[in-house]
A and B are shown apart, each in its own frame.
Chain A
Amino acid sequence: MNNKYETHEHDVLVMGAGGAGLRAAIEAMAQGARVAVVSKSLLGKAHTVMAEGGIAAAMANVDRADDWRTHFRDTMRGGKFLNNWRMAQLHAQEAPDRVRELEQWGALFDRTADGQILQRAFGGHTFKRLCHVGDRTGLEMIRTLQDRGVTMGFDVFMECTIVKLLTDGKRVVGAFGYWREQGRFVVFKAKSVIIATGGIGKAWPVTSNSWEYTGDGMALAYEAGADLKDMEFVQFHPTGMVWPPGVQGLLVTEAVRGEGGILRNKLGERFMEKYDPKRMELSTRDVVARSIYTEVKEGRGSEHGGAYLDISHKPAEYVKQKLPSMYHQFKELADVDITKQPMEVGPTCHYMMGGIDVEAETAQASLPGLFAAGEAAAGLHGANRLGGNSLSDLVVFGRRAGLGAAEYANKAPAANIDDAQIAEAEKAMLDPFARNEGESPYAVHRDLQQSMQNLVSIFRTEEDLQQAMKELEALKQRAAKVRVEGSRMFNPGWHLARDLVSMLIVTEAVTRSAIARKESRGAHSRIDYPQLDDKVWGKQNNVTSRDGENMKLRQVPVKEMPAELQQVLAEDK
């Protein structure tokens, strides 16, 4: 190990300071591990801060009949049974404790009349299950976890981006990254690494996701040799803003529908009656997104190509109290008063169900020493995630990843860093500065987004997907030749040049998996294969891995569920 680079040594390195990363760090510290948390943005700004509607947990504070079994069943049904059943079970069983723990660390949820945590209805959940704070639940959660971690004294490396996982051939031993501020490189030595880097939405132009969502964690894990799973399942949230152009894609929380919001087309028809008369607006997200898309495509869309979402039949004060940030968002950004007028909404790329393949109990990936939790991990949500099940996922499996990684670190011998891997990563980072010509990374990013929007979106066909593969190949060539201007100091163009590499890996995995899955299930809808195929595709997951320089896809059987859980699924309350 040379001393050319700033180097830090810890037992556990956590990539990501969202809900999953923070909860993991807290748990690893509680086990006595020395923990570093690294994040691309400032502490408290990760995606989790944006979550609005709530955190799902069968606490039964409002609907007494709720229990973990029903939550488990809803999650499996929402995920079209491709979920890792053990994860769905642990999640449903442990979520209430994780919510109570947040309260004990200072979170203040909205209350019921008898002084308990209030819960609201959400799509696909049988009972009122989402614990919430108005429509800023994520802020409450991230602030609570952040303060807990600060109190426990974790080492935080803010505005620091990891660009490579270091291995000793058999296991993960650290990571290599750069400080965004100065552009200096930094090496982290660790006995185990937890990836909690969130999703991939920035590869689409219409998205609720921020610049951070470029799939780094998944791409890094893939490059280091770990398996990715279920990559075809990208969730398009049915209700993003559609007008004005600058806010296109910004999320309109499902809580609007949870609180009674109604969807109509331009003819004034409550169209969900046609698509899911039983659950109506509170159907699962895949169904509502396809319904809106279809209405628009068939010429019944709203003025700017969406649907109308109306909550104005509720008292104005109630709307402002329950949905304050929606009220302000529309008022300030779209000149719409949602207490009086309908909102215009349409599908927006929102969440990645797929990700790093992990074991349910420990959150360990297929590569020793590597763990993953939160949106970056796959399994819990199967083919479609229910709203509110992400925030609970973060704390349930964040905690388990922290435990798993600390335990692993406890037994692992000291790590040896391979200088050659670092040198290679450093060269790749600096190449874009050395080029005398080449296009801007922003131009390549725009074209990538357009390809994904046009070809790998809500409805898919073989032809489009094959075309996408061609375009991705061309984009890869272009990305390898981008040129970066300016210095290494806080240079977004340079940062994007690296993020592009990650986006191109994950989008290729999405496209390949989507081509393979010749059926329609959850968030994956094939116009050329519109039916569910339970015999073949209901029984297997797509797994992506690296084979030298090539991407390899294989199918693995869905794990058999124990009889007592099958029984739970069969029950219908």
Chain B
Amino acid sequence: MADAVLHVFRGDKDGGQAKEYRVPVAPGMVVLDALHYIQGHIESDLAVRWNCKAGKCGSCSAEVNGRPRLTCKTRMDALPQDKPITVSPMKTFPIIKDLVTDVSWNYEVNKKIPPFTPKPGVEWKMYQEDVDRVQEFRKCIECFLCQDVCHVLRDHDKKESFGGPRFFVRVASLEMHPLDNVSRTKLLKDELGVGLCNITKCCTEVCPEEIHITDNAIIPLKERVVDEYYDPLLRLVRKIRGAPQP
């Protein structure tokens, strides 16, 4: 089989540029295999994160031909063969070296979110239909590709005032947990800045776990914030009627 040509970013916070590598292609090969080939046979100091090589850990995120992707799930034969494959680090996060970026900001955002807090004395019974929608959110592998693609973070760098889609998914998983008993709407509004999201759905498009981030997490959360802060009457009506929360 023919060789593939890759242009892989090499550099650190002081700068760098794409470097060309030729890698022999094997059937079913993914971009991460090509990066490993480079490490093993050409340049052993190429920095890449990975763990599972099966789309389960969310470590190997990068931008392949400009698109945020898990490199372990990006097949070489699904990319155009007639031009070099570019691989660069996620743009939204500060670079450490080569394809490795500093994602620590995400861990800081997570710390702000109050944990699961059950109703006191609750009976530990839950039905599948009640947990289905929360389980969708709990599929998140923290690849941070949605954070990478979201323009609020990527282009406007609002890391101080915006939590990003990953953490809306996380808040949704807690807020919609059948036995959870605290409200995170104030946090959503004030600290995570859910209002800054203008529902472009770019995050949903890149999510490797196919979580419907915008429709199932963000929009219902936005509604909760609106109900609570901007439409007290509607909230009251809903409460009295005991209608299901959105």
A binds B: yes
- Chain A residues whose C-beta falls within 8 Å of the C-beta of B104 in the assembled complex: 158
Report which residue of A41, A45, A50, A104 has the largest number of chain B beta carbons within 10 angstroms of its beta carbon.
A45
- Chain B residues whose C-beta falls within 8 Å of the C-beta of A243 in the assembled complex: 27-28
B30 within 8 A of A: yes
- Chain A residues whose C-beta falls within 8 Å of the C-beta of B73 in the assembled complex: 332-333
A212–B59 alpha-carbon span in the complex (Å): 13
B236 within 8 A of A: no
Which of A29-37, A350-358, A439-447 is found at the contact surface with chain B? A439-447
B96: shortest Cβ distance to chain A, in Å?
6
A115 within 8 A of B: yes
A49 within 8 A of B: yes
B48 within 8 A of A: yes
Q: Is the CB of B124 within 8 A of A100?
A: yes
A131 within 8 A of B: no
B240 within 8 A of A: no
Q: Is the CB of A115 within 8 A of B54?
A: no
A133–B174 alpha-carbon span in the complex (Å): 17
- 14 CB contacts below 8 A, A to B, read A41-B59, A43-B107, A44-B57, A44-B58, A45-B58, A50-B51, A50-B56, A147-B115, A210-B50, A329-B55, A442-B41, A442-B44, A486-B44, A490-B97
Q: Is the CB of A333 within 8 A of B30?
A: yes
Q: B residues bordering A, Cβ < 8 Å?
A: 12, 26-30, 33, 39-41, 43-59, 73, 75, 96-98, 100, 103-104, 107, 110-111, 115-116, 118, 124-128, 131, 134-135, 138-139, 141-142, 174, 177
- Chain B residues whose C-beta falls within 8 Å of the C-beta of A110 in the assembled complex: 128, 131
From A115, which residue of chain B is reached at the shortest CB distance?
B125
From B73, which residue of chain A is reached at the shortest CB distance?
A332
A443: shortest Cβ distance to chain B, in Å?
8
A325 within 8 A of B: yes
B241: shortest Cβ distance to chain A, in Å?
25
From A103, which residue of chain B is reached at the shortest CB distance?
B124
A48: shortest Cβ distance to chain B, in Å?
10
A494 within 8 A of B: yes
- Chain B residues whose C-beta falls within 8 Å of the C-beta of A134 in the assembled complex: 135
Q: Is the CB of B39 within 8 A of A492?
A: yes
A105: shortest Cβ distance to chain B, in Å?
7
A250–B96 alpha-carbon span in the complex (Å): 29
Q: Is the CB of B49 within 8 A of A325?
A: no
Task: List the 7 shortest-distance A-B pairs measured between CB atoms, nearest first.
Answer: A244-B28, A493-B44, A486-B45, A106-B116, A115-B125, A490-B47, A442-B40
Known: A148-B115, A485-B44, A492-B44. Contact between A45 and B51, CB under 8 A? Answer: yes
Q: Is the CB of B128 within 8 A of A111?
A: yes
Using A246-B28, A489-B12, A492-B47 as known contacts, list a sample of 5 further A-B pairs with CB atoms less than 8 Å apart, ordered by residue number in A: A49-B52, A116-B125, A332-B55, A441-B44, A442-B44
Q: Which of A45, A106, A116 contacts B59 (CB 8 A)?
A: A45
**Which of chain A's residues 234-260 have a Cβ closer than 8 Å to chain B?**
243-247, 250-251
Known: A181-B96, A210-B53, A251-B54. Contact between A487 and B45, CB under 8 A? Answer: yes
Q: How large is the interface on A (under 10, 10 to 19, 20 to 34, 35 or more residues)?
A: 35 or more
A440–B75 alpha-carbon span in the complex (Å): 28
Q: Which of B50, B56, B96, B126 contacts A490 (CB 8 A)?
A: B96
A166: shortest Cβ distance to chain B, in Å?
27
Q: Which of A246, A442, A491 contacts B26 (CB 8 A)?
A: A246
A441–B45 alpha-carbon span in the complex (Å): 11
Known: A49-B56, A210-B53. Contact between A244 and B26, CB under 8 A? Answer: yes
A499 within 8 A of B: no
From A442, which residue of chain B is reached at the shortest CB distance?
B40
A485–B73 alpha-carbon span in the complex (Å): 29
- Chain A residues whose C-beta falls within 8 Å of the C-beta of B51 in the assembled complex: 41, 45-47, 49-50, 210-212
A134–B59 alpha-carbon span in the complex (Å): 21
A57: shortest Cβ distance to chain B, in Å?
14
Q: Is the CB of B28 within 8 A of A50?
A: no
Interface residues as binary, A114-143 with B (CB distance below 8 Å gives 1, 0 otherwise):
111000000000000000011010111001
A489: shortest Cβ distance to chain B, in Å?
5
